[in-house]
């Protein structure tokens, strides 16, 4: 007797016709019990193709013959396949009906179309020639959509393990819109619901996008000329797009009506082990801690592939990140990117970022930038060094205006391009190396240095994070006292790293006709500090302690002692210089707390409010030194951002905040701006 069945029963012959009866007598059937079916269903979910040993074991457990087990699984697979095919066909038929309905609606609209700007009163009907032009344009768009549909269908077929059955679509019956054409990997809008319902399908699409983008990035990293040419105004490499479209990509695509492409490539040697750099790059939390001057935020949304444990190759994750320039006048750049890592040879990694239209619930955000395959190649070198080659390619919505004092700096790709990446990597990795060496000692001095390093890192991160607050909170005020635009924001501080209460944040960005090196030297000069720093109370300051953070003499963490302080305070400060600018960040700290941290007695978790200056070249006459050299004098002007934080009140209620204190803070920042402009003969 042969028996089998799906979830309810039934029978089937094996593939080799084993057990088939050649006689015409009535066949016998065996209906499985509910317990047997439940056990078989549970095993099927784990393994749809059990081997002979597994079938024998199931037969023993359920009191069935191995052949009965075999036939049940054959029937179940056949049933599942039929159900999937019906579901796919229903989905494709519904999509086809929707597209045909849209096409009919468009054809009806074309019969009586009028000018969209003038209306029926002034426009009149469209001529036959105009109709033909519109139809021809739609046909071209439909061809592109059909190609995209076929591409995604092949992905679905790969995912399902079989080709999809679907009704044929006539290209002439497919309609689209300009918006769909502009949005690159958003063209497959008909698949959105399927992808939401099937996360595995979206993961497959992400993997395909990442693999394709990685191939393109490797070409851009390994080839210099003729793909990359030197810019006419700066000593940096930019993409020759005519050559790019011939060699790499045959199509020109754009997301925005008014778009601007930014491309750059640079390379340099950094003081960090290649594998450690790869690990940091693939950890967004550590990455934003290490590079707070570049990133205001970075978080991993989904880890699609963890990668190999020994080398992190094939790691893939979806990341949300925000890049910024330290100024209240500069808008942040926000991306959802796929970050993909591959070890292309021993000791060499490529890490790629490419923008992705995220289908999650929180994916809707106002964006004006799109990242094409970008990233870096990290090559292992002797003595714990690495050579990093960086490529950045971004499309910008040029209708979003850039403030005039930053326009040249941004549009020359210095603000967000590869040269800034390399300069920041070199300075930050050198800082990491110096501070790691400084904290090696296990004695009290080593503990004190490690405490100062931790406190300095928190101070820098706190200072950089303040710029994302402008324009996002309830209380916002702008002042134009004596033409020195001061922006003020008041926020509630609840972080353990800051004093609790209402904090007044005031900042101003302005231009001076002086090189960044001269501006930095003036602000870092202890003898002239009293001209702008209210903490000095009109007197000079002396340096009590310093920890070098790099080869450049002014790259250091220091403790300053005012000669005539208002209160029993010391100034804790870190200053740094790289090719594309510099910063000085400081905070007042009670003398007793500061000495406890420095000597290793007390905790480094001291609540502080960071203030300081960021200095960058204006880009008007910028000439870069080689990536591996130290900063050299540059002509041209500078853009200075001064930002100060003051504790308005210890209460968390804004009602307790004095408006007089806000006005005084505004006047103080305005006075600092006047002092600096006067020092460098800048017009008011």
Q: What is the CATH number of domain 1-176?
A: 1.10.10.60
Q: Does pLDDT of 662 surpass 60? A: yes
Stretch among 1-10, 57-66, 431-440, 478-487 having the lowest mean pLDDT: 1-10
pLDDT for 363? 46
Who's near 194: CB < 8 A, 6+ residues apart? Answer: 91, 201
Please report the pLDDT score of residue 632 as a whole number: 38
pTM exceeding 0.75: no
More confident residue, 164 or 208: 208
Q: What is the pLDDT of residues 646-659, one digit of tens each?
A: 998 877 766 667 78
CA-to-CA distance for 558 and 296, rounded, in angstroms?
25
Task: Look at residue 633 and give its three-state secondary structure.
Answer: coil
Long-range CB pairs of 176-182, under 8 A, 24+ apart, other chains included = 176/138, 176/141, 176/142, 176/145, 180/145, 181/141, 181/144, 182/254, 182/255, 182/256, 182/257
Query: What 3-state class would DSSP assign to 111?
Result: helix
Listing DSSP states for 562-585 in one string gives: ESS-SSSEEEEEEEEEETTEEEEE
- pLDDT for position 624: 40
pLDDT for residue 172 is more than 50: no
Under a CB-based contact definition with an 8 Å cutoff, are residues 239 and 393 in contact?
yes
Taken in order 431, 270, 396, 255, the sign of the CA dihedral is negative
Q: Would you identify the CATH topology of the domain 204-433? A: Alpha-D-Glucose-1,6-Bisphosphate; Chain A, domain 4 (3.30.530)
pLDDT digits (tens, 9 = 90+) for 573-605: 999 999 899 999 999 999 999 999 988 887 888
Q: Which of 555, 51, 34, 506 is nearest to 271 (CA)?
A: 555
pLDDT recorded at residue 175: 35
- C-alpha 34/C-alpha 5 separation (Å) is 12
pLDDT single digits (tens) 509-536 = 999 999 999 999 999 999 999 999 999 9
Distance CA 451, CA 600 (A): 7
Which residue, chain included where needed, has tokens 């870092």?
Answer: 524
Q: Which range has the worst mean pLDDT, 101-105, 344-348, 426-430?
A: 101-105
* Burial class, 459, CB count within 10 angstroms (exposed 0-12 / middle 13-18 / buried 19+): buried
Element (H, E) at 87: helix 66-111
Q: Evaluate if residue 250 carries a pLDDT over 80.
A: no
Q: What's the CA gap between 247 and 226, in Å, rounded?
A: 10
Of 550, 602, 594, 601, which Cα lies nearest the Cα of 573? 594
Fold agreement (204-433, 446-620+640-679): yes
When pLDDT is averaged across residues 385-408 and rounded to a whole number, the result is 92
Q: Higher model confidence: residue 251 or residue 372?
A: 372
Selected residue with higher pLDDT from 539 and 18: 539
Between 61 and 520, the higher pLDDT residue = 520
pLDDT at 438 over 90: no
Predicted pLDDT of residue 170: 40
User: What confidence score (pLDDT) does residue 474 get?
Assistant: 40
Map out the domains of the chain as residue ranges. Answer: 1-176, 204-433, 446-620+640-679
**DSSP output for 445-473:** HHHHHHHHHHHHHHHHHHHHHGGGGTTTS
- Per-residue model confidence as pLDDT tens digits over 317-336: 999 999 999 999 999 999 99
C-alpha separations of 492 from 60, 611, 643, 656 in Å: 68, 17, 17, 12
3-state helix, strand, coil in the chain (%, to 5): 40, 25, 35
Range among 85-89, 183-187, 605-609 rated most confident:
605-609
Order of strands across the sheet with 501-512? Answer: 476-479, 486-493, 501-512, 638-649, 611-617, 581-590, 569-578, 556-562, 541-548
- The Cα 386–Cα 432 span in angstroms is 14
Assess whether pLDDT exceeds 90 at residue 192. Answer: no
pLDDT at 42 over 80: yes
Residues with Cβ within 8 Å of residue 151, at least 6 apart in sequence: none
Are 469 and 505 spatial neighbours (Cβ–Cβ below 8 Å)? yes
pLDDT at 111: 63
pLDDT at 682: 80
| Angle at 291 (CA atoms; ends 287, 297), nearest 5 degrees | 65
CATH number belonging to the domain at 446-620+640-679, selected among 3.40.50.2300, 3.40.640.10, 3.40.1440.60, 3.30.530.20:
3.30.530.20
What's the confidence (pLDDT) of residue 63? 85
**What percent of the chain has pLDDT above 70?**
77
223-237, 530-544, 559-573, 641-655: which range is least confident on average? 223-237
Q: Is the pLDDT of residue 164 over 50?
A: no
Q: Mean per-residue pLDDT for 77-83?
A: 87
**Residue 190 pLDDT > 60:** no
Q: Mean pLDDT of all residues in the chain? A: 80
Residue 684: pLDDT band (50, 70, 90) is low
What are the backbone dihedrals phi and psi of residue 635, each rounded to the nearest 5 degrees, phi first?
-85, 180
The C-alpha atoms of residue 251 and residue 463 are separated, in whole angstroms, by 43
Question: What DSSP designation does 483 have?
Answer: G
Q: How far apart (Å, rounded) are the C-alpha atoms in residues 628 and 292?
A: 22
- The helix (H) or strand (E) run that includes residue 196 is helix 192-197
Which position has the higher pLDDT, 15 or 662? 662
CA 114 to chain centre: 43
pLDDT > 90: what percent of the chain? 37
Which three-class secondary structure state does DSSP give residue 499?
Answer: coil
Give per-residue burial for 569-592: e unless 16+ CB within 10 Å, then b.
bbbbbbbbbbbbbbbbbbbbbeee
Radius of gyration, CA atoms only, the chain: 33
**Predicted confidence (pLDDT) at residue 171 exceeds the cutoff of 50:** no
């Amino acid at each position: 007797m042969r028996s089998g069945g799906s979830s309810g029963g039934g029978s089937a012959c094996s593939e080799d016709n084993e057990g088939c009866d050649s006689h015409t007598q009535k066949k016998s059937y065996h209906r499985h019990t509910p317990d047997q079916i439940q056990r078989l269903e549970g095993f099927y979910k784990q393994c749809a193709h059990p081997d002979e040993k597994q079938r024998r074991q199931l037969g023993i457990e359920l009191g069935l013959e191995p052949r009965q087990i075999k036939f049940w699984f054959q029937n179940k697979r056949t049933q599942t396949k039929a159900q999937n095919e019906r579901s796919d066909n229903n989905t494709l038929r519904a999509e086809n009906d929707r597209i045909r309905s849209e096409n009919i609606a468009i054809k009806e609209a074309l019969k009586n179309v009028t000018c969209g700007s003038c209306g029926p009163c002034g426009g009149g009907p469209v001529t036959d020639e105009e109709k033909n032009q519109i139809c021809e344009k739609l046909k071209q768009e439909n061809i592109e959509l059909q190609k995209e549909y076929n591409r995604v269908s092949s992905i679905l077929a790969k995912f399902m393990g079989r080709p999809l059955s679907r009704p044929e679509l006539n290209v002439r019956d497919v309609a689209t819109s300009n918006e769909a054409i502009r949005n690159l990997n958003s063209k497959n809008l008909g698949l959105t619901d399927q992808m939401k319902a099937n996360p595995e399908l979206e993961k497959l699409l992400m993997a395909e996008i990442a693999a394709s983008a990685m191939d393109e990035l490797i070409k851009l990293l390994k080839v210099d000329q003729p793909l990359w040419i030197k810019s006419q105004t700066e000593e940096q490499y930019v993409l020759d797009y005519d050559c790019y479209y011939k060699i790499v990509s045959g199509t020109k695509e754009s997301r925005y009506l008014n778009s601007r492409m930014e491309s750059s490539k640079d390379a340099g040697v950094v003081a960090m082990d290649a594998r450690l750099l790869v690990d940091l790059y693939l950890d967004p939390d550590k990455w934003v801690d290490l590079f707070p001057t570049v990133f205001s935020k970075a978080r991993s949304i989904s880890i699609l592939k963890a990668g190999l444990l020994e080398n992190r190759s094939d790691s893939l994750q979806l990341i949300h990140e925000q890049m910024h320039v330290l100024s209240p006048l500069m808008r942040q750049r926000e991306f959802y990117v796929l970050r993909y890592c591959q070890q292309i040879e021993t000791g060499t990694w490529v890490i790629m970022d490419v923008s992705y239209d995220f289908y999650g619930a929180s994916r809707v955000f106002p964006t004006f930038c799109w990242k094409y395959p970008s990233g870096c190649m990290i090559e292992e070198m002797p003595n714990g060094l690495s050579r990093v080659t960086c490529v950045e390619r971004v499309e910008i919505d040029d209708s979003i205006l850039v403030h005039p004092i930053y326009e040249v700096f941004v549009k020359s790709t210095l603000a967000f391009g590869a040269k800034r990446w390399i300069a920041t990597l070199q300075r930050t990795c050198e800082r990491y190396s110096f501070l790691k060496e400084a904290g090696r000692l296990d004695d009290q001095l080593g503990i004190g240095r490690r405490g100062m390093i931790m406190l300095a890192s928190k101070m820098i991160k706190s200072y950089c994070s303040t710029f994302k607050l402008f324009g996002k909170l309830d209380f916002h005020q702008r002042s134009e006292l004596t033409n020195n635009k001061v922006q003020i924001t008041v926020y509630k501080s609840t972080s353990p790293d800051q004093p609790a209460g209402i904090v007044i944040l005031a900042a101003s960005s302005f231009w001076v006709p002086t090189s960044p090196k001269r501006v930095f030297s003036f602000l870092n000069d202890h003898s002239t500090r009293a001209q702008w720093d209210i903490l000095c109370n009109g007197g000079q300051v002396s340096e009590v302690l310093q920890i070098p953070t790099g080869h450049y003499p002014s790259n250091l963490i220091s403790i300053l002692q005012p000669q005539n302080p208002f209160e029993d305070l010391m100034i804790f400060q870190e200053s740094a210089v790289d090719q594309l600018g510099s910063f000085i960040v400081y905070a007042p700290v009670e003398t007793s707390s500061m000495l406890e941290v420095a000597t290793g007695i007390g905790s480094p978790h001291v609540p502080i409010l960071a203030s300081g200056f960021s200095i960058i070249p204006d880009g008007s006459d910028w000439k870069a030194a080689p990536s591996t050299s130290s900063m050299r004098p540059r002509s041209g002007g500078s853009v200075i951002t001064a930002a100060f934080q003051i504790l308005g009140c210890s209460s968390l209620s804004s009602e307790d905040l004095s408006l007089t204190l806000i006005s005084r803070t505004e006047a103080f920042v305005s006075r600092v701006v006047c002092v600096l402009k006067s020092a460098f003969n800048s017009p008011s």
